[in-house]
Structure 1
Amino acid sequence: MASDFNTVTEPARRLPVYGEFDVVVIGGGPAGLAASVSAARHGARTLLVERYGFLGGMGTAGGVTNFAGLYGRRNGEMQQLVHGVVDDLLVRIDALGGLNQPQDGMQGRIRVRSYDVSAYKCAADQMLVSAGVQLLFHAWAAAVVMEGRSIAALVVETKSGRQAIRAHRFIDCSGDADVAHFAGVPFELGDGQGSALFPSTMFRVGHVDAPRALAAVGEFSAINKLMDESALSKPGRYRFPRQGAILRPNKNPTEWRANVTQIRNAAGMAMDATNARQLSDGELEGRRQITEYFRFLKNEVPGFEQSAIVDIAPQVGIRETRRICGDYALTGEDILSSARFDDVVGINAWPMEMHVDGAISWGFPRDEQRACNDLPWRMLTNSVVSNLLVAGRCASMTHEGQSAARASGGCFVMGQAAGTAAALLASGQTFRDINVAVLQHQLSQDGVFFDR
């Protein structure tokens, strides 16, 4: 094994082939769930590759505990606008007793649906197995093998060693555009200025006196008023990483979810989750902030005196890393103008949610009657790799556009479109050749809502 001071040369080796499939999906978050289920239901031999031993992405591994972006205003009325595969998942979570009623916030301009994390994991298992999706857990995308402009195989690291997976079509739902990056698809990282939407480590607090806590922080903004009062009356006692803290009850009102942290790197910018050192340091910083904030909850917030931390998310919650430069980049103006597209594949119903240094900045559509926008097919395709789609928070968007469409609602939409297209693609076709009208018809038949 040759080496120099900074590098080590790894000898070439022959890799065992794990299997051959029609469609391989990388990443088991909302986009990956919808993509793999859709592809399998339309007859494709489908494998989902997931780094953890469970599904759900940031909704489970990141501890988010609520679906955002399923509901939006249409004709002035708040209603569910994202349908399709997600409806099956919601029914399954509800059947396990793990789905809360919708909760409104921001003066009725947003609506989320919280869930029990364990119920989500089990419901996702059930949905994928029933659709015939094959699952490979504890596998990490490591490289690709190219043949011309196509990916011939995905290389993964597993507990059985390094292996290759052959497929006709691939869908990158990794969140970080790992596969697209390996294949040479150009990308933008964060805001392009060395920062990004700031990440957060999520946690849950149990043994809460629900009536007193609800009276004290029943509104989204009330906890921030208590933070401000504590900062004025007891200067220096508490250090809050950001304003715009979110503290809300789960289905069991004695258990609350807390979205209050903000992870910076040594330079004071958003932690880069594609940098191994920064990611490792960020995990430590997130838990440090949690212990600090929990001290404030117990000492200052009614109903939390006897509470305890019952769970810290398995990983820091990442909002933004790589975004591919695809055939169309969804922009912040598309969100604000409630944009429509001829190649629409579904609806984004979440506003711009910019996690900036020390705060959250919201940007709502100007048209309150239609506070949602179309998501176009072209944000999933690229000009470099012919048999690759990218769906989820790493699809083709600007920094501002991604702050909205990265929410779970938009990811379900993108994933279902990608999986359906992968199953419908004819032999010899590329994804850029697909008949969008045929795809739209099939998505509509499968329950996807189009605001025509």
Structure 2
Amino acid sequence: MMKEPARNLKVFGEFDVVVAGGGPSGLAAAVSAARHGARTLLVEHYGFLGGMGTAGGVTNFAGLYGLLNGEMCQMVHGVVDDLLPRIEALGGLNKPQDGMKGKIRVRSYDVSAYKCAADQLIAAANVQTLLHATAAQVLMDGDRISALVVETKSGRLAIRGSAFIDCTGDGDVAAHAGVPYVVGDGAGSGLFPTTMFRVGHVDPAPALAAIGEFEAINHFMSNAQNAFPGRYKFPREGAILRPQINASEWRANVTQLRNADGTAMSGVDAAQLSEGEMDGRRQIVDYFKFLREQVPGFENARIVDIAPQVGIRETRRLEGVYALRGEDILDSVRFEDSIGINTWPMELHANGRIDWRFPKDASRPFNELPWRMLVPREVTNLLFAGRCASMTHEGQSAARVSGGCFVMGQAAGTAAAHLGEDAVQTFSAKKLQTLLNADGVMLSV
């Protein structure tokens, strides 16, 4: 160990609400806080917003739609209703795509359009941004955070705030503030990460005819392994290969990053992250060889983009007043302090496979998300939203997707704007529900 000398920090500014992380939860939190009158700063590690949806190359919104009375419809509303039309106006939003025999629906988009639309959304709400800034530490005043410390190209800066929201996905702010957490599944592994990539110059007609359905590519993979033993090694069973708006360009979700002992790569371990990034690209090269040799329409394809970073599904899960459980997903649970709807099933990325678990009640295949999962037990001016919120490993496998993140972020931002000097632990869930309802959020069905 080495000791870092103490130093004075320049104060970047003082705000009512400081949001760290610009993914779906951070976007929703910052916009909601600003719309409710708070001077709001959004801090983001990258030079663009969107979180895993842009930096991780996810390229689709999951968990916005669910089956209600047997009909697939949008059930997550609020800030996202302003974002989607902005992406569409830029020509970057695809039609909804159904999968798993009609049990799920996603909405894919062009990454560049999402980045620009997110900028527009933030600007329209008068949210101030600080990009290329990484949460490095917090300064505490008793049980309150007095300032967030960030690393930037201008040096180390302090940001004062009345309320702070951790939307970093990794729980960086809360961890620095001393909030207890569990990494991954708590047993040395977790949901396995994926490096996303896009393939261009695809011949649309034969490609769509061959793999127009979500599961169709799996048959090609199985057939290739049987016909050419040892030639193709796939990182997991099955893949998701889907066309973008331009059907000559497809997104591929197939890689799976693991350590030598078979555990999932940790997104909060610098050495594992470094090796995982390179391993993801090695897997892409191998899989692309299979696409060109075995799948109709991909004979002349090219890799057009590899995501700027590996796609992380699970790292720190923070300890809150309540932890969303797998049973809550499977039992379609209602909560008195509901802040919105989660429509996504449990999606457990295990070693070499994906395990899907759907709610038991087919007539109500969704659950509510409680306010208490955003609230720490002790730090009084901090909330967290997104995949680092208070959930068990199984509960997080469902609510971590963008739909749930929009729900959590909007609730956190709205509450933070009305918090004042009160403690988050005593903030009225009923008051929050009234505010969210007025903003068009679907709280319960």
Q: Which amino acid aligns with 2:242?
A: R
Report whether the alignment pairs 1:189 with 2:157. Answer: no
* Whole-Å separation in 1 of the counterparts to 2:106 and 2:389: 23
Aligned 1:115-194 pairs, distance under 5 A: 115-194=109-188
Q: Which amino acid aligns with 1:339?
A: V
Q: Which amino acid aligns with 2:336?
A: D
Tell me the residue number matched to 2:47. Answer: 53
Q: How much is the aligned-residue C-alpha RMSD, in angstroms? A: 0.6
CA-CA distance at 1:189 after TM superposition: 0.9
Report whether the alignment pairs 1:114 with 2:108. Answer: yes
Tell me the residue number matched to 1:399. Answer: 393
DSSP 3-state at the match of 2:444: coil
DSSP 3-state at the match of 1:165: strand
Report whether the alignment pairs 1:431 with 2:424. Answer: yes
* Whole-Å separation in 2 of the counterparts to 1:252 and 1:58: 22
Report whether the alignment pairs 1:20 with 2:14. Answer: yes
DSSP 3-state at the match of 1:9: coil
Aligned 1:65-104 pairs, distance under 5 A: 65-104=59-98
Contact 1:173 1:390 in 2 (8 A): yes
* Whole-Å separation in 2 of the counterparts to 1:189 and 1:115: 30
Tell me the residue number matched to 2:338. Answer: 344
Q: Which amino acid aligns with 1:242?
A: R
Tell me the residue number matched to 2:195. Answer: 201
CA-CA distance at 1:9 after TM superposition: 1.0
Contact 1:184 1:384 in 2 (8 A): no
Q: 2:438 aligns with which of 439, 442, 445?
A: 445
Contact 1:241 1:262 in 2 (8 A): yes
Report whether the alignment pairs 1:255 with 2:249. Answer: yes
Instruction: State the identity %.
Output: 69
Report whether the alignment pairs 1:31 with 2:9. Answer: no
Q: How does the TM-score come out when normalised to structure 1?
A: 0.98
Contact 2:319 2:377 in 1 (8 A): no
Contact 2:162 2:421 in 1 (8 A): no
Q: Which amino acid aligns with 1:446?
A: D
* Whole-Å separation in 2 of the counterparts to 1:180 and 1:221: 39
DSSP 3-state at the match of 1:281: helix
* Whole-Å separation in 2 of the counterparts to 1:286 and 1:249: 21
Q: Which amino acid aligns with 1:274?
A: V
Tell me the residue number matched to 1:4. Answer: none
* Whole-Å separation in 2 of the counterparts to 1:20 and 1:450: 33
DSSP 3-state at the match of 1:370: coil
Q: Which amino acid aligns with 1:436?
A: A
Structure 2: give runs of 5+ residues left out of the alignment: none
Q: How does the TM-score come out when normalised to structure 2?
A: 0.99
Q: Which amino acid aligns with 2:201?
A: H
CA-CA distance at 1:102 after TM superposition: 0.2
Q: Which amino acid aligns with 1:101?
A: K
Contact 1:205 1:257 in 2 (8 A): yes
CA-CA distance at 1:75 after TM superposition: 1.6
* Whole-Å separation in 2 of the counterparts to 1:191 and 1:306: 41
